[in-house]
Amino acid sequence: MITAGDFRNGMTIEYDNKVCQVIEFQHVKPGKGAAFVRTKLKDIKNGGVVETSFRPTEKFPAARIDRKDMQYLYADGDLYNFMDTETYDQISLSKEEVGDAMKFVKENEMVKVCSHNGNVFAVEPPLFVELEITETEPGFKGDTATGATKPAIVETGAQVKVPLFVNQGEVIKIDTRTGEYLSRV
C-alpha cells in the first residue's frame, strides 16, 4: 500500500477502480487546517486526467504494470499480431486496443506491450524509427531558405511533414511520440 504522502511522479496506483499514474503532486500545508496532497492522476487505460486532493495518510494499492518486449508480426484486417520472442507465444490485439501507436511500426519490429493483471491496455512503439518515403512531391534546389515543409507518405502508410529537400525513396528518422521528421538517414 502507498500513502498519498509517498507519491512520486510516474508512480502507478489503483484509485476509484482505475489504474492511474501520478503525473504531478504537491504537498500543501495551509496556515489553517490539515495538510493535504494535491495531485494530477492520469487514467492509463483511457488517458483521462483528473485533479484530486488527498489526506497524506490515505492509502492506495500499488498497480503493477507489465511491459513486455514483443515482435510485431503482421496486421490481419482489424487485428494486429504480436509474438513474445522468448516463449514464442502469439497474441492478437484489435485496432481499438492498439490505437494510434502502430502507424510508424513496420512488420518484424520490436514494441513494448503494456498490461495490468493480464489485460493489455497499450502498445508502445520504439521512440525513433527509420522509414522510407514512398510518396512525396519532388524537391527543388534553393527551397530550403524558408524552412517550409511538405507532406510525405512513409512505407507504413502514415503521413509526415518533411522539409522541401527530402525526396521520394529516401530513408528518414521519425520521433514516434510526436510524429515529427528528425533527419535523413
User: Model confidence at 180, in pLDDT bands (50, 70, 90)?
Assistant: confident
The CA-atom distances, in angstroms, between 56 and each of 18, 22, 23, 36, 38 are: 20, 14, 17, 6, 10
Q: 84-136, pLDDT tens digit by residue?
A: 888 988 888 888 778 788 888 888 889 998 888 888 888 888 889 899 999 88
Q: 31-72, pLDDT tens digit by residue?
A: 888 899 999 998 887 778 899 999 999 999 988 888 889 999
Residues 66-124, CATH architecture: Beta Barrel (2.40)
pLDDT at 145 over 70: no
Per-residue confidence (pLDDT) for residue 38, from 0 to 100: 93
For domain 128-184, give its CATH number from 3.40.630.30, 3.40.50.970, 2.40.50.140, 2.30.30.40: 2.40.50.140
Per-residue confidence (pLDDT) for residue 25, from 0 to 100: 92
The CA-atom distances, in angstroms, between 15 and each of 4, 19, 121, 127 are: 11, 6, 17, 29
pTM, entire model? 0.70
Q: Give the other-Cβ count within 10 Å of 153's Cβ.
A: 15
CATH 2.30.30.30 domain residues, the chain: 2-60
Residues 2-60, CATH architecture: Roll (2.30)
pLDDT at 21 over 90: no
Per-residue confidence (pLDDT) for residue 143, from 0 to 100: 55
Counted residue by residue, the chain has a size of: 185
The CA-atom distances, in angstroms, between 153 and each of 88, 125, 131, 169, 184 are: 33, 19, 10, 11, 15
CA distance 35 to 33: 7
Per-residue confidence (pLDDT) for residue 60, from 0 to 100: 92
